[in-house]
Structure 1
Amino acid sequence: MIKVENLSFSFPQKELYQNLSFTLEEGQHCAFIGTSGSGKSTLIEILLDPEKHLFEGKLEIDPECTMGYVSQFSQVDPSREMTVFEYIAQEFIKIQDELTEIYAEMANTTDMDALMEKLQSKLDAFAAMDGDNFENTINKQLNLANLLNLKDLNVASLSGGEFKLVQVIKEMLLRPDLLIMDEPDVFLDFENLNALKKLINSHKGMLLVITHNRYLLNHCFNKIIHLENTELQEFDGRYIEYNFSLLQTKIELQEIAVAEAEEIERYDGIIDNLRAIATMNSEASRGRALKARVKFQERLEARRIKAPFVDIKQPDMTFGLDREVEDTLAVKVENYSVAFDELLLENVSFELRSTDKVAIIGPNGTGKTTLLRDIFKNDHPAIEVNPEIKVAYLSQLQGETLNDCNTVLHEFIDAGFDTYDEVRAHLIHYGFEGEILEQKIGSLSGGEKNILQLAKVACSQADLLLLDEPTSHLDIYTQLALDQAIQDYKGAILMISHDFYSVAGGMDYVLIIDGKSIRRMSLRKFRQMIYARHFDKDYLQLEQKKKSVEMQIEVALKNTDFERAKVLAEELEELIKQL
């Protein structure tokens, strides 16, 4: 359906791609991954409108191919006076109205041939969208996403997460040959994220989705496209299988790196000897032995991951404060309430100790961000922040903490660094070096901006970190680095997050929104609740076994015990099949 060959493209200040090649075929649900700023969104723009971009190489798109698009930056238009159902049905209603006009013209025209051609074109378009059943189909999709109760509400009254799902439903129902979605999961709460998973998995058409969400990656896709440092890796299979192939290649490359030259020659000689014996001896078993070994090599070669993708460096992230912290009260919230058009939280009370790591969990639009912002401002009568502690804040609205008009260097001089050399020494740990330091922050990707926020938090030496959706827009490698930095941090953290892996792996307990109040829940009960709602019965146990085996493989590799690593890799492969 779509074929890209030797595509190269660059901006004046940066080369993005060098001879990229990949294909997208009917029925594929493809996840598009890569570190922040690698050019994923730009590549999507090229696919959507090739004429606007001066690229080298070949781009073959079937002229009959239709494309749909869901942007990561879409927002509800408050001026829209239409229901959710009417918004989704817009294109269907539009064609119906056009058909009505054509039928009316037919009653009063002599040029029937032209109208018949126009009529047939509209009828074909309506049929391609299954227009005769659109009302029933819309209701089914809304029900699948647990949004049927919103059907008759004004679209402008939706939360950001609800509107994102409605947009996905709208584009899917138009039945494009290829639907492209750019980070459709950003800021979705876990219930909405699970609804998005259901929509993706039920979609029959071809999908290309930019996402860094570990939950979606593990459960939604059958092809991976990985873009890094101007190069591209294409993999047919699930993300969990892609990671396994990365691990297999890592074992292979490390073994080769420490092997003696004669051992490598000896292994190559086995095949040469078998080939020579098979040539001289027609015995069937000899031929089968050679064929089996060659087939094994071919299978490894077909699944082999390019070396630059095997061990991509994570940011060297740390939040400082590696000293021991005295156990004191950090934040006290007593009878806190917040309301906008309606009361969201009422009489909320809790305390946060100076070493607590806590996640606030709840649906979109329930007042979590307002609560975190009020704690940071420390000017609300129901909130008391210990005056002895320093507080740092990461906002999901990046403009609250970053000045888009500043260059990266100037932003960190404003943050308290004395010299540009100090800024450079700090930011190199976060992947920022060279020309990007002179770029305006407004020109950076969402992921790059969030990494800059984390770099500012890290240099603050704060005792309390207030993190509002810190994993949003972050690539997988930065998410893993953030998880580790949170685990190593000695101070207090209050974090809003819908990333199950970050919460389950790094928090002490959760504060879960229940109606208009907040109650404390142990991490064990939180895990059980999520797994009971969204996973098969044995999934948690299998996933824990998988993590255990992966850790054992890492230890074996550090000890250069490659035989042990290979045995464990076989065990891991069996677990992955069950997952």
Structure 2
Amino acid sequence: MAHTAHPRAAPCARAAHRAPGARAPNALSHSRVFTLVRSSRGAISGYNSLNRNHVSGGSYSFGSFGPSTSQFECRLRATSSAEAEVSEAASSSASAEQPDEESNNASKNGAAAPKNGKTTTNASTTSSSSSSSASKKKGSSGGVTSGVRLEDVAIAFRSQQVLDGVTWEVKAGERVGLVGINGAGKTTQLSIIVGDLEPDRGSVIKARPDMKIAYLTQEFDVDPTRTVKEEFASAQKEQVEVLRKLEETQKQLEEVGDDMETMGTLLDELEVLNRRADALNVDRLDASIRKMMPELGFNETDAERLVASFSGGWQMRMCLGKILLQEPDLLLLDEPTNHLDLEAIEWLEAYLKKQDVPMVIVSHDREFLDNLCTKVVATDRGKASTYQGNYSDMMRQRDAAIAQQWAKYERQQKEIKRQRDMIDRLSGGGQAGRASSAQKQLDKFLESEELVEKPFVEKDRFFRFPAMERSGKDVLNITNLTHGYPGAGRPLFDALNLEVTRGERVAFVGPNGAGKSTLLKLILGREEAQMPDGLDREVSDLGNITVGTHHIVWNYFFQNQAEALDLDLTVENTLVETTDGEKNLGELKALMGQLQFKGDAMHKKVKFLSGGEKARVALAKFMCTPATLLILDEPTNHLDIPSKEALEQALQAFDGTVICVSHDRFFLKKVATRIVEIKDSDVKDFEGDYTSYLSKDAKAAKRDTKREEKRVKAERDATKAKSKMSKAEKMKLKKEKAKSFNQGGGGKKKGSKNSGRWN
């Protein structure tokens, strides 16, 4: 059998193989003969650095590389990556800033190739080997010892000023929450940091020009046809490409035959590829993936499962793992909790807390921001302000600052009024000279920086759902509901019983796929109950769902309600059509003002709105429709915090009945008076609000743990009891052992008896 060099081995000494007159290969730092083991299928096996040990004759042995590029087995050296130390963050600076995402969505998504040759994907890492032109203006780190700083950044889209003088920074050890209404410029700031957008003014100052910035965007970028292991490996595109070329070159060497010149060329290519592979540390890829997977909750058997077989929450974990595999210096996350269930959100919080990398998080999830952030940058009207602490800390600090500014403003206005009254008295009392001098001093003061600006406070608008005649006490009765889908393997509901009475605000909670939205559809008659698989008993009927008959008028807000809007109507006409003129235009404008639609925005056609704006129009349409029973499926998706607050206030004041599905914990705490948990075909009913549910559920989990520990102990004790023997039995066994020992040479000295074990 002819031997060829393995792709991950240094090229062999080729003098014996080179044809007369063939060109000499590149000079090598060393020459060794490498022996390749051919597999049973006849393919030359691939590189495995775990087996890269010297054997007789100076040759190496190699493990299997796998049959194809897309399904390679990276059995590479298990080299743990050194973790970068993170210094403590210094005290933060307060500054002004505000952002936008929606006015930039079209520009961002439809932009040409990013500057400096960078490519930003939905789960990408940008290595800032060449700073953006904005950074070059500064020419240095500008005092930034770690992380990134935005300095006086301004940008406009279509003549609309989105950011104007924005300054803030993220340093080592910080988790910064970037908050603001939809369209304020939050995603724009992330795009500026990563280098996809250039600011019109200002700069992005980085601690190092070559720092890696990882960006997890709102939509998860995964390939459903890959295996989990391949999906993780795809994060290291250059490493994967080098491995692919190594395998391809190996196959060419296998087929080259006796063409020594071609063989020499291929061996030269192998040398170059080997050096590149060493520079990229490809040996670490497989070890890094194996280390990362259990940290993200995956087990070994998941490695070969297809990405398509996992839920959105698990795909989010893949995206997060992909960017963390690249060991970034800064992590940017844009709405990471979108479409995640409660369990996945809580996992994400805990996981991010354990990461040393500094991060910037854009989110409207107030509980998530409270549990994770160490600093918050609030963006409003093109400006930004920095606050230490989490979201609730920011709200307290902001309210205190506004109250303090109001006090200063009112004192100053009182003094200005006193000065003007004095000037009027002097003018009328024949002291025109003194009056003129005082007026000049007052004018000078009014134009100075000492003048306290009147605080901007959004006008409180409180909207109520339209009043209707009160419904009967019995709203909903579910008896022995059994439902599932063919092939699912288990039912969604097995003999479910549930009663809802007037005035209750019931929240269905549980993991994605548990059947929460399905239950809403069954209640509304949009889906029929089916006989499920996996039942261990016969079912004569699938149960009953009875909706009250006395004045029950329901209104349903489904997850993708924005998709049902008429795209050719304006915002104003959409609402007028919904109310049939029953509400005056002033009331509608008050509602839309609370949902951040003001002035000309009311006259925009729906088809020109961003996704977040459409969601707010759909919510406004829902809130204008009279009903006594409100059914809402994930109503806070795509809503900013002010819009969520408007909905919460309206639901709290609603005197009818509410049934909702939500993964927004802050929303649940504000709205729900009763929690129904749906999980693993089981339904648990908890009286009380969400905080009470968490307490009871934690106690129940603790009781279950103790019960399980008690069961295991009982089984262990039972096993010990079975193995117990009487004294007579023990003595008999002891005599039998002694007899056996003596027959085996028990008279020998212990040292001589044991000596044979080591010879």
For the aligned pair, the TM-score class normalised by the smaller chain equals 0.7 to 0.9
2:367 maps to a residue whose letter is Y
The one-letter code of the counterpart of 1:81 is: T
Supply the AA of the counterpart residue of 2:681. K
Hey, what's the Cα distance between the residues in 1 that align with 2:278 and 2:200? Answer: 37
Residue in structure 2 matching 1:190, options 342, 345, 349: 342
Match of 2:307 among 128, 133, 155: 155
Match of 1:407 in 2: 570
1:361 to 509, 513, 525: 509
Offset at residue 482 of structure 1 (A): 2.6
Distance 1:188 1:19 in 2: 35
Residues 162-195 of structure 1 show CA distances to partners (whole Å, capped at 9, x for unaligned) of 2223222222222222222211112322211111
For 1:242 and 1:307, locate their aligned partners in 2 and report how far apart those are by CA, in whole Å: 20
**Distance in 1 (alpha carbons) for counterparts of 2:225 and 2:682:** 32
Structure number with higher relative contact order (C-alpha < 8 Å, ≥ 6 residues apart): 1
Aligned to 1:352: 500
For residue 457 of structure 1, report the CA deviation from its aligned partner: 1.8
Q: Gaps (5+ residues) in structure 1?
A: 265-305, 536-579
For 1:75-114, list aligned pairs within 5 A: 80-92=224-236, 95=239, 98-99=242-243, 101-102=245-246, 108=263
Residue 89 of structure 1 and its aligned partner are, at CA, apart by 3.0
- Cα deviation for residue 521 of structure 1 reads 1.4
Alignment deviations for residues 150-169 of structure 1 (CA, whole Å, 9 cap, x no partner): 55532112222222232222
Match of 1:64, SS state, is coil
Structure 2 Cα separation of the partners of residues 532 and 182 of structure 1? 34
- Report what 1:33 is aligned to: 179
Deviations for 1:275-309, whole angstroms, at most 9, x for unmatched residues? xxxxxxxxxxxxxxxxxxxxxxxxxxxxxxx9868
Q: Which amino acid aligns with 2:287?
A: N
Alpha-carbon separation, structure 2, partners of 1:531 and 1:441: 45
2:204 is the counterpart of 1:42: no
Instruction: Give the Cα separation in 2 of the matches to 1:175 and 1:487.
Output: 46
What's the CA shift for 1:360?
Answer: 0.3
Q: Is the 8 A contact 2:461 2:591 kept in 1?
A: no
Of 286, 293, 312, 1:139 maps to: 293
Q: Which residue of 2 aligns with 1:290?
A: none
Partner of 1:565: none
SS of 1:234's equivalent in the other structure is: strand
Per-residue deviation, 1:206: 2.7
**CA 1:160–1:534: 2 relative to 1, 3 Å:** farther
Cα distance in structure 2, aligned partners of 1:262 and 1:92: 65
Structure 1 stretch 148-157 or stretch 210-219: which is displaced more?
A: 148-157
State the Cα distance separating 1:358 from its structure 2 match. Answer: 0.2
Preserved contact between residue 192 and residue 199 of structure 2 (Cα < 8 Å): no
Give me the whole-angstrom Cα distance separating, in 1, the residues matched to 2:476 and 2:317: 35
Contact kept, 8 Å, 2:594 with 2:646, in 1: the verdict is: no
Aligned residues of 1:338 and 1:367 also touching (Cα < 8 A): no
> Residues 314 and 262 of structure 1: is their aligned pair in 2 closer, same or farther, counting only changes over 3 Å?
closer
Match runs of 1:418-497 below 5 Å:
418=581, 421=585, 423-497=588-662
Which residue number in structure 1 is paired with residue 319 of structure 2? 167
SS at structure 1 position matched to 2:660: strand
Per mean C-alpha deviation after superposition, the further-off stretch among 449-458 and 335-344 is 335-344
State the one-letter code of the partner of 1:32: L
After superposition, the C-alpha distances for 1:98-154 in whole angstroms (9 at most, x for unaligned) are 147359869955699997676555444447x953631332233223xx777855532
In 1, distance between residues paired with 2:506 and 2:699? 22
RMSD of aligned alpha carbons: 3.7
- Residue 474 (structure 2) aligns with: 329
Change (3 A) 1:506 1:139: same
| 1:390 matches 2:553 | yes
One-letter identity of the residue aligned with 1:330: V
Q: Residues of 2 paired with 1:156 and 1:237: CA distance?
A: 39
What stretches of structure 2 of length at least 5 have no aligned partner? Answer: 1-146, 254-262, 417-452, 530-543, 703-759
User: Could you give the per-residue CA deviations for residues 225-249 of structure 1, whole angstroms, max 9, x where no partner exists?
Assistant: 2111111112344334333322431
Q: TM-score, length-normalised on structure 2?
A: 0.57
CA distance, structure 2, for counterparts of residue 460 and residue 340 of structure 1: 37
| Helix, strand or coil at the partner of 2:324 | helix
Using the alignment, how far apart are the partners of 2:595 and 2:455 within structure 1?
Answer: 19
Distance change >3 Å, CA 210–CA 383, structure 1 → 2: same
- Tell me which residue corresponds to 1:14: 160
- SS of 1:50's partner is coil
Counterpart of 1:449, as a letter, is K
Does structure 2 retain, via aligned residues, the 8 Å contact 1:28–1:222?
yes
Tell me the number of residue pairs that the alignment of Structure 1 and Structure 2 aligns.
486
Question: Matched residue of 1:339: which SS?
Answer: coil
State the identity as a percent. Answer: 24
In structure 1, the residue matched to 2:695 is 528
| Equivalent position of 2:24 in the other structure | none
1:317 matched to 2:463? The reply is: yes
Q: Tell me the CA shift for residue 478 of structure 1.
A: 3.0
Q: What is the aligned partner in structure 2 of residue 549 from structure 1?
A: none
Distance 1:202 1:213 in 2: 20
What is the deviation of 1:260? 7.9
> What residue in structure 1 maps to residue 45 of structure 2?
none
Deviation at 1:196, TM superposition (A): 0.5
Contact residue 331 and residue 386 of structure 1 kept, 8 A: yes
- SS in structure 2 of the partner of residue 185 of structure 1: coil
1:56 matched to which residue of 2? 201
Equivalent of 2:374 in 213, 219, 222: 222
My pick for the range that moved more, 354-363 or 55-64, is 55-64
CA contact (8 A) 2:570 2:606 kept: yes
Residue aligning to 2:676:
511
CA distance, structure 1, for counterparts of residue 563 and residue 394 of structure 2: 37
Residue 217 of structure 1 deviates from its aligned partner by 0.9
- CA shift, 1:28, in A, is 2.9
Higher helix share: 1
1:327–1:9 CA distance, 2 compared to 1 (3 A): same
1:9–1:18: 8 Å Cα contact kept in structure 2?
Answer: yes
AA at the equivalent of 1:241? D
After TM superposition, the structure 1 stretch with the greater mean CA deviation from structure 2, 342-351 or 102-111, is 102-111
Partners of 2:299 and 2:615 in 1: CA distance: 30
Instruction: Specify the alignment match of 2:4 in structure 1.
Output: none
Deviations 1:549-570 (A, max 9, x none): xxxxxxxxxxxxxxxxxxxxxx
Distance 1:484 1:351 in 2: 25
C-alpha distance in structure 1 between counterparts of 2:503 and 2:337, whole Å:
31
On the 8 A contact 1:339/1:345 being kept in 2, the answer is no
- Compared CA separation, residues 104 and 320, structure 1 to 2 (3 A): closer
Change in 2 beyond 3 A, CA 1:260/1:372: same
Distance 1:142 1:491 in 2: 43
Q: 2:176, 2:359 within 8 Å by CA — same for their partners in 1? A: yes
Aligned partners of 1:317 and 1:430 also within 8 Å: no
Match of 1:248 among 366, 385, 400: 400
User: Is 2:220 the partner of 1:74?
Assistant: yes
Could you tell me the TM-score, scaled by structure 1's length?
0.73
